[in-house]
Amino acid sequence: MIVPIPSPAISIVGRHNSGKTTRIVSLITELVARGYDIGSIKHHSHVGFEIDYPGKDSYRHRKAGASETMIASPGQIASIKTIQGEMECNELLRLMPGHDLVIVEGYRKSFLPTIEIMRSGNDADSRVAAVFAEGAEKGWPLGTDFTQMTRGIVHIDEVDEEELALASSARGAGIPMSVVQKFTVHSPDPVDISNKLPTAQTVAVVTDIAEAYQAAKAYGIAAFTLDDTCGLADFVEAHYVRPRLSVVIQAGGESRRMGISKATVPFAGRPLICRLIERLRFIADELIITTNEAEHLAFLKEEFPSLDIKFVADVYPYRGALPGLYTALHAASHSFVSVVACDMVFASPALVVAEALTMKESGADVVVPVNQHGFEPFHATYRRENCLAAIEGVLARGEKRAQAFFPEVEVFEFSQTRVLEAEPMGGCFINVNTPEELKLLEESFLDS
C-alpha cells in the first residue's frame, strides 16, 4: 500500500471583514497560473451550514439517515458526512493529500505557518495594528497573549489591579499595567482582539496600514501591501509550496550477484523498475533513469507513454556510488533531486516528499535517512548545485563512497522516527541483491 502524500499547508487569518477571502482568491489564482496544484479549506464558524438542499436526491439520502453521502459526476465529486463535534485542521489536511499546497482560511490556532491580513478600512484591524505596532516599538514578545488578562473585564473601575498584575507576571509578558488597562477600556471586544494578534506562527503580514507594515518588519516578519499578490506568491512559493522535484532512479547495469540487471529482473510478474516508476511517478516533476544500458529499458517508453522518461549514462568512465550520484545530480533540471536505487522494492513517495519539504524548511543541502546501519544515501534528497560542487572536489581526491562529501555540505539527518511518521508501513530501505533474496521478498509480498 502506498501512503498518501501529505500536503504542505499555510493558514491565512484576519478579523471579520479584513478581506481574507479576497486575498486568498488572488493568491490561489496566481499560484495556479504558475502551475501548482492548490487545495483550500474554509473554516465555517457557524453550526449546521448546508451545501445540499431539499429536492435533491442526495438531500433525501441524508434525511433518510445516511451518515455520509458521496455525489459523483465526471470530473467532480463531493462528500457530505455527519460528524460529532468539529474536526481539527490537521485532521482535515490528512483528507487532502497530494496537493502542492493547501491554503487554509482561518484556523488561527492550528499551529500552521500563518499569514495575517490587516485592512485600514476595518476598525478591528486598526485596533490590532495599533497594539501590534506598540509591541514592536517596546519589544514585547511576539504573540503576547492578553486573553487571560482581559477575559470578562468590562471597565477599568471593575479591574482587580493585583489580579491583573499577577496574571501578567505569571505569563512572563512584562506588559505595563497601563497598556493592559488601555487595551481593556478602549476595546469594545477585548477578548476578540487579544485572541487575534499576530503570534509566533505568523510568517507574513499583508496590510495597507503603515504602522502594521513597519511593525512586521521590526519583528522580522515578511510584509506585503494588499495589492502585492505577486510578491506574496513569490514568498509562499519560496517557503511553503512543495518544491519542484527531479526524481532519479539509479538502474545501473548488470548486477554480478543477481546475474542480470536489477532493473529488468521480474518482480510480481513485471520488471522491477516498473514497480519503482509506478510508486514514484506522481511526485516527480522530472523522472530520470541512470543506466549504461538504455537499449534494454527502451520498453519503458511504451509502458509509460505519458511520462517523459529521460535515460542518462554515467558521466565518469568508472563505477562507484559517488560517481553514480554525481551523474544523477548532473542530469537533473530542478534544484531538488531525490535519488532512489532501483532495487528498493518499497521505495516511499511519501518519504521523498517529506525529505524535500524538510530540505526547503531547513535550508540543508542533503536530507538523508539515518538508522542503526548508518546513512541511506540512495533514498535521500539533495540540493543539486551545492552537492555537485562538493562531489567534484571529493572525487578529485579519489573517493567513491556516496557519503564521502557529506562533511563538505549541510546535512540534515532524517531519523527513524521521522521516517516512520512519513511512511508508517516502514520497509523503505529493503533492497534485493540475489535471486534468493528476491524470491523470498516476492513470496512475502504476494502473500500479504
| Domains parsed from the chain with CATH numbers | 1-60+91-143+197-242 (3.40.50.300), 245-447 (3.90.550.10)
Residue scoring higher pLDDT (428 or 116): 116
Tens-digit pLDDT profile for residues 241-260: 988 999 999 987 556 555 56
Q: What are phi and psi of 434, to 5 degrees?
A: -130, 160
Tens-digit pLDDT profile for residues 297-324: 999 999 999 999 999 999 998 888 999 9
Cα dihedral 170, 175, 179, 180, rounded to 10, equals -10
Distance between CA atoms of residues 4 and 153, nearest Å: 48
Residue 139: the pLDDT is: 85
Cell readout for 448 is 500479504
Residue 123's Cβ-count burial label (10 Å; 0-12, 13-18, 19+) is exposed
**Helices in 34-170 by DSSP H: which ranges?**
57-63, 89-94, 123-138, 147-150, 161-170
Distance between CA atoms of residues 445 and 448, nearest Å: 5
In percent, how much of the chain has pLDDT > 90?
Answer: 46
Distance between CA atoms of residues 279 and 134, nearest Å: 53
Strand-pairing partners, residue 270, are 267
**Residues 125/209, Cβ–Cβ less than 8 Å:** yes
**Residues 363/239, Cβ–Cβ less than 8 Å:** no
Distance between CA atoms of residues 323 and 325, nearest Å: 5
Q: Give the pTM.
A: 0.72
Closest CA to 143 of 219, 43, 249, 255: 219
Residue 184: the pLDDT is: 43
Residue scoring higher pLDDT (92 or 103): 103
Tens-digit pLDDT profile for residues 19-75: 999 999 999 999 999 999 999 998 876 665 666 667 677 777 877 878 878 888 888
Taking CA atoms, 281 is separated from 36, 75, 315, 336, 357, in Å, by 16, 22, 24, 16, 18
Cell readout for 81 is 458526512
**How large is the average pLDDT for residues 339-368?**
92
Closest CA to 344 of 267, 443, 403: 267
**DSSP 8-state symbol, 428:** T
